[in-house]
Amino acid sequence: MVKGFLDWEEHAKEMTEAQIASRGIRDKALLEAMTRVPRHLFVPEELRHQAFDDMPLPIGAGQTISQPYMVAKMTLLLAPKTGDKILEIGTGSGYQAAVLAELGARVWSVERIPALAERAREVLCDLGYGDRVTVICGDGRLGYPEAAPYDGLIVTAAASVVEPAWKEQLVEGGRLVVPLAQGIWGERLLLCVKKAHGFEESYHDYCRFVPLLPGVADGKDD
Ligand code: SAH
């Protein structure tokens, strides 16, 4: 597909085996979905040779595409089923949204930096995900009430609080995955499952994300 990267599928397969399955994530559908997404097309051209490495990478505007393992872990906690409606906060490169689409989800994804939203939209359309992923430029702290309620909501930037809008926009049984700030410890993945009379919460991996920022960027920082 990309010159000099004809064997990307091999890299993707090795990535899922060496970085994800080896760390205990054995969900077959998830591993297969991640081998089908051409991760190298979601990173800047000059970083393509590192696209399948075990790390986050810069994608411009001071933002990053998450480490493959983190994408897998968050997706596992979110546990999307075919046909589920998922809201993502923080489109970034669009890679996480593509993985969710590969798993059969219908995805809405909100990004505050117009240039990133535009680029992600383009890549996702080029790769044929256009009918399953809708990218919105806006402030994801408000969720996206226009398409609510969602079966799952995934936040891919560090939040200092769980926004009430996120909880409100979930169906009963819906799942929210968010890296929640833990003071000097960085963040920790929080899973909230909506029950009839409140939320069941559990804490998972420690992690480091770029911060969730208020409002829509004015173009000066992208
Ligand atoms: N999921 C992405 C990685 C996201 S990095 C991927 O797969 O590549 C976090 C993203 O959240 C950045 O692009 C950042 O601009 C965006 N972001 C930060 N604050 C936001 C907000 N309030 N609303 C929407 N997006 C936000």
Under-70 pLDDT residues of the chain = 1-4, 219-222
Say whether 66 is catalytic: yes
Say what the pLDDT of residue 3 is. 46
Tell me how many degrees the CA angle 120-48-188 measures, rounded to the nearest 5: 65
Q: How many residues does the chain have?
A: 222
CA 222 to ligand 1 center in whole angstroms: 12
Say what the pLDDT of residue 1 is. 47
Closest-CA residue to 88 (of 171, 152, 27): 152
161 CB burial (10 A radius; 0-12, 13-18, 19+): exposed
Domain boundaries in the chain? 54-207
CA–CA distance, 38 with 1 (Å, rounded to integer): 9
DSSP letter at 20?
I
User: What Å distances lie between residue 29 and 40, 175, 198, CA to CA?
Assistant: 21, 19, 30
CA–CA distance, 221 with 147 (Å, rounded to integer): 29
Tell me how many degrees the CA angle 54-126-132 measures, rounded to the nearest 5: 85
DSSP letter at 150?
E
Are 62 and 221 spatial neighbours (Cβ–Cβ below 8 Å)? yes
Give φ, ψ of 92 to 5 degrees: 55, -120
Residues with a CB atom less than 6 Å from ligand 1: 63-66, 89-90, 92-93, 95-96, 110-113, 116, 139-141, 156-157, 210, 212-213
CA–CA distance, 30 with 11 (Å, rounded to integer): 16
Which atom of ligand 1 sits closest to the CA of residue 96? 7
Q: Please tell me the pTM assigned to this model.
A: 0.96
pLDDT tens per residue, range 143-190: 999 999 999 999 999 999 999 999 999 999 999 999 999 988 899 999
Which atom of ligand 1 sits closest to the CA of residue 99? 7
For 54-207, CATH number? 3.40.50.150
